Amino acid sequence: MRTGISRQWVPHPFAKRKDGSEEGVGAPIRLPLAGWVFRVVCVATVLFLCSPSAFAHPQKGEAVGFLTGFRHPISGLDHVLAMIAVGLWGAQLGSPAIWLLPVAFPMVMAFGGMLGLMGVPLPGVEYGIALSAIMLGAAVMFEMRPPLGIAAALVGFFAIFHGHAHGTELPPGQSALLYSIGFVIATGTLHAVGIGIGTVHRWAWGKMALRVAGAMVAFGGAFFLWKAIV
């Protein structure tokens, strides 16, 4: 048998009885954020505001290489539009295109990046990038369903232009390995975003929304083509 101070369960002042009436004397005023969660959040907020600066930043520039590489594909809207369109189109086409296109694009884009790094010239890069947004956007807009090989070839062809542009613009003094990893992960993440958006294709309104999104991508591509020409 346990000895010492006995603990009795004290009902919460705002607890309700089974019949719906309130505990305690009189009708208590129920605050919307009352309770221990609110108190903990208040204490945590105060403590976080008083926290010292973090020491977790990596040294020797490793993070710079990764972050620079990660930022590169998402820094240009023309690249972003095309890469999201690849994901959208893959989602429209379904399996196996939904995974084959996002696999083909980074591989061929990296090949284009390698050519750019090696200094191999490629004419009309800006036109190719703008045309890729137009073509891929149109493919989404019209729900084109070519054979898988043709779809992969189309995506791969335009990926070379994107990769080449990135390859020639690589800043010096970065960690090649971490830059490359960040670069590829960002590209794949953009495809994943496109695929994620493209999952609305299962609903009727989603199909229409995707076609509208494709039209917007194509419109954006036309704008970048106009900018490249002018």
Partner 1 sequence: MSRVPQSRVPLYAFVFFALAMFALPVEAHLNSTGMGPFYDGLMHFLMSPEDIIPVLALALLAGLRGANYGRRTLFVLPTAWLLGALAGLTAAAANPHPFAASAWFLLLGGLLAADAKLSLRLTTALAALLGLYHGYLNGTGMGLFETAAVAVVGLVFAVFVLIALAAALVVRLQAHWARIAVRVAGSWIAASGLLMLGWAVRTR
Positions touching partner 1 (CB under 8 A) are: 7, 9-10, 12, 36, 39-40, 43-44, 47-48, 50-51, 54-56, 58-59, 99, 102-103, 106-107, 109-111, 113-119, 167, 170, 176-181, 183-185, 187-188
**Closest CB to partner 1 among 92 and 187?**
187
Pairwise CA distance, residues 202 & 60, whole Å: 48
Residue with tokens 């794949």: 188
Closest approach, Cβ 90 to partner 1, in A, equals: 12
Closest approach, Cβ 57 to partner 1, in A, equals: 8
Closest approach, Cβ 230 to partner 1, in A, equals: 32
**Closest CB to partner 1 among 25 and 54?**
54
DSSP states along 171-204: PTTS-HHHHHHHHHHHHHHHHHHHHHHHGGGGSH
Closest approach, Cβ 33 to partner 1, in A, equals: 14
Residue 64 burial (C-beta neighbours within 10 Å; 0-12, 13-18, 19+)? middle
Pairwise CA distance, residues 225 & 132, whole Å: 10
Closest approach, Cβ 52 to partner 1, in A, equals: 8
DSSP 3-state assignment of 217? helix
**Closest CB to partner 1 among 64 and 117?**
117
Longest dimension (CA), the chain: 91
Q: Let me know the angle formed at the C-alpha of 89 by 196 and 213, rounded to the nearest 5 degrees.
A: 75
**Closest CB to partner 1 among 110 and 210?**
110
Q: Which two tokens stand for residue 39?
A: 């108190």
